[in-house]
Amino acid sequence: MEVKTWSEKGKMFSVLGKEIFVIDEGTSENTLVILHGYGTSTIDYHKILPELTKNYRVILHDLVGFGFSDKPNKQYYSILDQTDIILELWKILELKNITLMSHNLGAAIALEILARNKTTLLNIDLKDLIFLNSTVSFNYEIEDEGHNNVSPLQDFSSKMQLMFSSFAFYKVKVKDFFYDASLFSEEDIKARWILMDHKDGREIIDFLANYGTECRLLWNRWFSALDKNLLPCKIIFGKNDIIYSEVEAGHFANHIRDCKLHNIENCGHYPMLEKPKELINLILN
């Protein structure tokens, strides 16, 4: 997918003082909101968007700091800030009957939305949840200050910072996140790089990399929200993910009441690019 072609599918919205790139396609009364991950943007979903719009009104937006959206200079933009932007955008778009699908960093934002939805302060028409190769660790037996373990998201963001040091290095190392790197086209690799570099995005990558620490600080809040969650949930997991293990995915699933765990064989961290047909089938069925 070429960057120019993708940009023409969306438009900019002013949300809480930030310019946010939004794609809004499909006419269904049921809405699918997709939250992308760290170090990338909505363009990851170009292979699955056409089929999903046959069944949903699909909303994609670039998080602050990524893609075409604003990239504040020398300003740490937290998960809480990202959530504020998203919820305000939902109001502007008047979204209803929401299925929330999140990948990587987006899963942390989805959990914060879930936590806020448990209060009486919000009126979100949230119907169900889909977590796609989350990088949020919920193994509380190892996620404490007495251990030196690095969370999946911290590990991922560290790798991404290093990779974005040069295009030549990125082009080689990004393929490590795929089971079959041949399925990540040269065009997609170049588009990813262009969108990360857009608006000097690589210059602010360090200011986006503290999400792992924030996840640790907010873990109890999110765990409590999950423990009380009554919404149907799917966890979809590319089984050959080098960042998020099968053990982590299973542990996550075990803490959600109405949850189904689906593994995609021979698939890495990006099922939407590597196994789009299998992913579409799991989303819709």
Q: Two tokens at 276? A: 């789009």
pLDDT higher than threshold 70 for residue 10: yes
**Average pLDDT rounded to a whole number, residues 170-193:** 94
pLDDT higher than threshold 80 for residue 120: no
Domains and CATH numbers, the chain: 3-284 (3.40.50.1820)
CB neighbour list of residue 170: distance below 8 Å, 6 or more residues apart: 163, 164, 189, 192, 193
* pLDDT for res 61: 99
pLDDT higher than threshold 70 for residue 144: no
Q: How confident is the model at residue 212 (pLDDT cuts 50, 70, 90)?
A: confident
pLDDT higher than threshold 80 for residue 211: no
Q: What's the pTM value of the predicted model, to 2 decimals?
A: 0.92
pLDDT higher than threshold 80 for residue 218: yes
Backbone angles phi, psi at 31, to 5 degrees: -110, 135
Q: Of the given ranges (155-159, 162-166, 281-285), which has the lowest mean pLDDT?
A: 155-159
pLDDT higher than threshold 50 for residue 9: yes
* pLDDT for res 162: 78
Q: Note whether 125 and 97 are within 8 A (CB).
A: yes
